[in-house]
Amino acid sequence: MPTILVPQGAESAAVCRGLKRLTGKQPIVKPIPVGIHAVREYLQQWSQTKDFEKEVKPGILVLGLCGSLTQQHKVGDIVLYQDCVYQQQIRECSHTLNSYIQSKFNHQQSRVSVAKSLTSDRVICSATEKRYLGETMGVNVVDMEGFAVLEFFHKIAVEVAMLRVVSDDCDNDIPDITAAIKPDGSLKPLSLAVRFVRQPIAANHLIRGSLQGLKVLERVTELLFAQK
């Protein structure tokens, strides 16, 4: 049973709600900060703890939300990462864990799409830029943590799979909230609120998409770790 890494806040809360519905043994859940640099720091600190080797031995499963860079993936779609790209570097996800996850979805007759992902060190907020990145880089979705996790665990030969839910499509702008993310990966609530007020339509797309994505993420977690 792999250890779950999931961005802290609403995403980790959704995963924990999904797990609470289950009986029997449950996976370890590690809430991680938002952003590639904060994640690198978190993983380095975690690796110094006494239980680290035991906790990562079964493998790592990254859960959370992501943004779509193509018309192919809509809000609420479930995507299983094939690989992650960051600054012209690429890291592949575990074929073994991916096959296991796909078999779980097939058994439950649920749909999951395999996707190529981009890790960004800022929020991609413009619909025009989302589609441009998707077309020019040949990627389907974007997040802010994936590559850092793959890079770190590749060095110590730990298998990693990534399963995310689309919460932001490529047809609508969302607010530029990059400045509302602290260096440690936590959010500045006041700064976030100001950006939402300045861009109410974009904020509405982000909020509605996130709420829909979180509901799916909760169900996905329950499906993956159900005993049957």
Query: Given this model, what pLDDT does residue 110 score?
Result: 67
Nearest-angstrom CA–CA distance, 203 and 207: 6
Query: Given this model, what pLDDT does residue 189 score?
Result: 81
Give the residues of the chain that fall short of pLDDT 50. Answer: none
- Measured between its terminal Cα atoms, the distance across the chain in Å is 14
Q: Model-level pTM greater than 0.85?
A: yes
Nearest-angstrom CA–CA distance, 28 and 65: 19
What Å distances lie between residue 150 and 57, 98, 104, CA to CA?
15, 14, 22
Hey, what domains does the chain have and what are their CATH numbers?
Answer: 3-225 (3.40.50.1580)
* E strand segments, the chain: 3-7, 29-32, 60-68, 78-86, 89-92, 113-119, 141-143, 160-168
Mean pLDDT of the chain: 91
Nearest-angstrom CA–CA distance, 56 and 60: 6
